[in-house]
Structure 1
Amino acid sequence: MITLQINGDSGFDAEVVVKPRHFLLFERATGIKFSDFEDGVSMETLYRLAHLVMQMLHHKETPVKLEEFEQTFDVLPVGDEEPPGPTPAAP
């Protein structure tokens, strides 16, 4: 799934895991499919997803309106980058 690093002006700071049920609800609410995330999505889409998940998992810390969420929270995907391999030996 996708992990998002979410930081709020109020001090909220957490990695939030977007699970299949969250994507299902997001697809139903927006029409944006999970498969669209493979090719990359806009920050607007990422914030819409983060807002939905935050309302489900951290309701008390999350503004009801998306616009307020956008103005008070930073959202970044946490990459699953491969760790760098060993440096090749010089010839």
Structure 2
Amino acid sequence: MITLHITGDSGFDAEVVVKPRHFLLFERATGVKFSDFEAGVSMATLYQLAHLVMKIQHAADTPAKLVEFEETFDVLPVGEEEPPGPTPAAP
């Protein structure tokens, strides 16, 4: 799944995990498919997803309207670390 680092002007700072059920709700609400995320999506789409997940997981900290969320929060995807490659054989 996707992990988002979300910070807000109010001091909110957390990593939020987007779970399969969140993608399902997001897909139904917007028509943007999960597979579109692998190809890359716009920041506007990423903020829409973050807003939906924040309203579910941190309702008290999240503005009801997307435009207010966009004006007061920063959203960045957290990159996954590459798995270590095979260790070269000793000479």
Indicate whether the TM-score tops 0.5.
yes
Matched to 1:73, the amino acid is F
Equivalent position of 1:57 in the other structure: 57
Query: What TM-score comes out, normalization by structure 2 length?
Result: 0.90
Could you tell me how far apart the structure 2 residues matched to 1:71 and 1:64 are?
12
Give the C-alpha shift of residue 58 in structure 1: 0.2
Could you tell me how far apart the structure 1 residues matched to 2:22 and 2:83 are?
28
Alignment of 1:39-54 (within 5 A): 39-54=39-54
Alignment of 1:1-12 (within 5 A): 1-12=1-12
Does 1:73 pair with 2:73? yes
Q: What is the DSSP-based 3-state SS (H/G/I as helix, E as strand, rest coil) of the residue aligned with 1:32?
A: coil
Query: What TM-score comes out, normalization by structure 1 length?
Result: 0.90
**Structure 1, 76-85 or 63-72: larger mean CA deviation:** 76-85
Instruction: Find runs of 4+ consecutive structure 1 residues off by over 2 angstroms.
Output: none
Does 1:26 pair with 2:26? yes
After superposition, the CA RMSD in angstroms is 1.6
Give the number of aligned pairs.
Answer: 87
What runs of 5+ residues in structure 1 fail to find an aligned partner? Answer: 86-91
**Structure 1, 18-27 or 76-85: larger mean CA deviation:** 76-85
Give the C-alpha shift of residue 81 in structure 1: 2.9
Per-residue deviation, residues 6-35 of structure 1 (Å, max 9, x unmatched): 000000000000000000000000000000
Matched to 2:56, the amino acid is M
